[in-house]
Amino acid sequence: MSARLTGDETALWKAAARTLDANWTGTSTAASPGLYPHQWSWDSAFISLGLARHRRDRAEAELLSLFRGQWANGMLPHIVFNTRLARRAFFPGPELWHSERHPDAPRGVHTSGLTQPPLQALVALRLHECATDGDSSRAFLARLYPLLTAQHRYLAQARDIGSDGLIAICHPWESGLDNSPAWDRPLGALRLPPTAYAPAQRPHTLPNGEDYDRYVRLVALMRHAGYRRTYLRDDHPFAVEDPLVNAIYLASTHALAEIATLIGADPAPHRDQAQRIHHAILDHLWDPETGCFRARDLRDDRLLPVVTVGAFGPLLDPELPSPIVRNLVDLLLSARFAGAAGYPVPTCDIQAPAFDRGGYWRGPTWVSTNWLVWYGALGHGLPVIADLIYGSTMRLVRQSGFREFFDPFDGTGRGSHDYAWSAALVLDLLS
Ligand code: 2M8
C-alpha cells in the first residue's frame, strides 16, 4: 500500500484487498462469490492487476492458472471451471461446452469453448512495470510469452473472419459486454434451431430469458461444428468486429512486442501485426459521418447503429490520430455519455432508445470499462478525462461497495456484491 494514501483511501484499499482475499480459491480468484464461482478470462486479467498491488505471488498464479485452460490451438477459453465445485454451481456449466470431447482442449480441466477480450499481454506487461524484482518478473514474462503468442496466433488465424486484420467475436459473451444493445440487431436476425437447454435460473434477472436462450443456442451451433475455424469463418451466423475487443487486441499486441524485447525475443512480427490492426480499426470501424467507432456486423457488412462504451476503446491505440482523439473526448463529455451521467461512463449512449440505466451492459457504469477508458486517456495525455473517470469510479465504490455494476445517474450498486474486478481495479487505480 502506498504511503501517500489519505485515511479514506487507506480504508478503501484495505476493503478491496479483503475482497480479493475472500474470493481467492487457492489457485485463482472467483469472479464473484455465489454468482460467478469460476475463473473468467478477462476478469482474471483485471484481477491480476489488483493482485499485483497486494499479493504479487497470486497475481502470477492467477494468470498461470488461467492458461492451464488454454487449448492446443492457442484458444484461451473465457471460462476455466473450478472442478472442486458442484457441477450445478453455475449455469451454463461444463455440460454446455463438452470441452473434454474436443481434441484441442486440455485434459483434467473443463473449459468453455469461447474466448474473451485478449487483455492478458497488456496485463502481463503492467505486472512487470510495477514489479520490484526485475529478474524474477522477466523470468515470469519468459514463461508466459509462448502462451501469449499462441493466444494471439489463434486470434489472427481463426478469428480474422473478415480477412482485414481485425478479430471477430462469434458470440456476445466473447465481447464481455454480454447484452450490449450493439448485439441486438445481429442477435435478432438469427434463425436458430431449438435447444435442449431451459432458460437459465439466475440470481439477477438480466439478460432476459429470450436473449439467454439465443446465447445458449449459438453455443450449441459452435459446439456441434467442433468450434472449427472454417465453420466460424464461413457458416456461423454471428460474427461481429467490435472496437473495444479490437482495441484491446491492439494494445496487447503492442505489449507483446515490448515483452519480446524484454526477454530477448524478436518484437518485429508483433509490431507489424500492431500496424495492421491499427489501420484496420480506422478503415473498418470508424464512422466519419457520425464521428465515432461502431461495431461491424460481418454477416451483412454494415456498421451497427448503437454507440456504446466500446466507441472509446480505440483510446487504447497509442497512434490514434489526434483529430479522432478530440472527437472521442467531445463524445465522452457530451450529454450522450458523461455530460448527463452523475457517475460516468455509462456503457451505452444515454440518448439511444435501447439505453437502460439498470440493464446490465445496456447502460450501467462498470469499473472494468471505466478502467480501460481511464488507461487509454492517460496514454493520450488527457488528465481531465482520466481524473473525471478516476473520481467517478472512487465515488461509486465508496458509496455502493464493490458491486458488479452501477446506476450511472445515482450510483446505486447492482448485481453481485464483492465483485472481484471492481475491488482489484480500485487497488490498481489507488497505486
Ligand atoms: C458476465 O458474463 C457471463 C458469461 O460469460 C454471464 O453472464 O454468465 C459478463 O459480465 C462478463 O463480462 C464477465 O466476464 C462474466 C464474469 O464476471 O460475467
Catalytic residue among 62, 164, 349, 404: 404
Q: Which atom of ligand 1 has the smallest separation from the CA of 420?
A: 17
Q: Is residue 395 part of a domain?
A: yes
CA of 173 to the centre of ligand 1 (A): 7
Q: How many domains does the chain have?
A: 1
pLDDT recorded at residue 2 = 74
Q: Which atom of ligand 1 is nearest to the CA of 116?
A: 14
pLDDT at 239: 98
* Ligand 1 centroid from CA 267, angstroms: 33
Q: Is residue 2 part of a domain?
A: no
Longest dimension (CA), the chain: 59
What is the C-alpha to C-alpha distance for residues 71 and 114, in angstroms, rounded to an integer? 11
Question: Does the annotation count 428 as an active-site position?
Answer: no
Nearest atom in ligand 1 to 92's CA: 8
- Kindly give the number of the ligand 1 atom that is closest to the alpha carbon of 202: 8
CA of 63 to the centre of ligand 1 (A): 18
Closest atom of ligand 1 relative to the 366 alpha carbon? 10
Distance 111 CA to ligand 1 centre (A): 14
Q: Amino acid identity, residue 148?
A: L
Which residue has its alpha carbon closest to ligand 1 atom 3?
Answer: 173
297-336 residues labelled b (16+ CB within 10 A) or e (exposed): bbbeeebbebbbbbbbbbbbbeebeeebbebbbebbeeeb
Pocket test for ligand 1, best of 28, 40, 183 (most atoms within 8 A of CB): 40
Best residue among 78, 119, 178 to mutate for probing ligand 1's pocket (most ligand atoms within 8 Å of CB) is 178
Cβ neighbours, 10 Å, residue 4: 7
Whether residue 353 is contained in a domain is answered as yes
| Centroid of ligand 1 to alpha carbon of 17 (angstroms) | 22
pTM across the whole model: 0.97
Residue to mutate, 28, 36, 371, ligand 1, most ligand atoms under 8 Å from C-beta: 36
Residue pair 80/68 in contact (Cβ under 8 Å)? The answer is yes
CA 41 to ligand 1 center in whole angstroms:
10
Sign of the dihedral through C-alpha 309, 291, 190, 188: positive
404 is catalytic: yes
Q: What is the pLDDT of residue 90?
A: 75
Catalytic residue among 160, 174, 178, 407: 178
Query: Which structural domain, as residue segments, surrounds residue 366?
Result: 7-430
Inside any domain, residue 1? no
Would you say residue 266 lies in a domain? Answer: yes
Please tell me the predicted confidence (pLDDT) of residue 62. Answer: 98
CATH number, domain containing residue 184: 1.50.10.10
Q: Which residues line ligand 1 (CB under 6 A)?
A: 31, 36, 40, 42-43, 78, 173, 176, 178
Q: Is residue 249 part of a domain?
A: yes
Write out the chain in H/E/C secondary structure. CCCCCCHHHHHHHHHHHHHHHHHECCCCECCECCCECCEEHHHHHHHHHHHHHHCHHHHHHHHHHHHCCCCCCCCCCCEECCCCCCHHHCCCCHHHHCHHHCCCCCCCCCECCCCCCCCHHHHHHHHHHCCCCHHHHHHHHHHHHHHHHHHHHHHHHHCCCCCCCCCCECCHHHHCCCCCHHHHHHHHCCCCCCCCCCCCCCCCCCCCHHHHHHHHHHHHHHHHCCCCHHHHHHCCCCCEECHHHHHHHHHHHHHHHHHHHHCCCCCHHHHHHHHHHHHHHHHHHEECCCCEECCEECCCCEECCCCEHHHHHHHHCCCCCHHHHHHHHHHHHCCCCHHHCCCCCECECCCCCCCCCCCCCCCCECHHHHHHHHHHHHHCCCHHHHHHHHHHHHHHHHHHCCCCEECCCCCCEECCCCCHHHHHHHHHHHC
Is 319 a member of any domain? yes
The pLDDT of residue 205? 46
Q: Tell me, what's the pLDDT at 202? A: 54
- pLDDT-flagged residues of the chain (< 50): 203, 205
Q: Considering the domain boundaries, does residue 141 fall inside one? A: yes
Q: How many whole angstroms from 195 Cα to the centroid of ligand 1? A: 21
Ligand 1 atom at shortest distance from the alpha carbon of 114? 5
Instruction: Name the residue at shortest CA distance from atom 17 of ligand 1.
Output: 31
